[in-house]
Amino acid sequence: MVHPDCTVRFWGVRGSIACPGPDTVRYGGNTSCVEIRCGERILVFDGGTGLRLLGNELMCRGQPADLDIFYSHTHFDHICGLPFFAPCYDARSRIRIWAGHLNGRGIETVLNKMMIAPLFPIPMGIFTARLEFVDFAAGKKLTPHNGIRLATGQLNHPNGATGYRIEFAGKVVAYITDTEHRPGGLDRNVLELIRRADLMIYDATYTDAEFPEHRDWGHSTWQEGVRLADAAGVRTLVIFHHDPGHDDAFMDQVAAEAAAVRPGTIVAREGLVLRP
Summarize pLDDT for 24-68 with one digit per residue, the tens.
999 999 999 999 999 999 999 999 999 999 999 999 988 889 999
Distances (CA, A) of 262 to 95, 111, 239: 38, 39, 12
Residue among 55, 71, 75 nearest 63 (CA): 55
Write the pLDDT tens digit of every residue in 195-208: 999 999 999 999 99
Write the pLDDT tens digit of every residue in 128-156: 999 999 999 999 999 999 999 999 999 99
Architecture of domain 6-274: 4-Layer Sandwich (3.60)
The domain locations on the chain are 6-274
**Helices within 195-247 (DSSP H only):** 222-232
Asked if 15 and 241 count as a contact pair (C-beta separation under 8 A), the reply is: yes
DSSP state of 188: H
d(CA 161, CA 156): 7
Q: What pTM does this model have?
A: 0.97
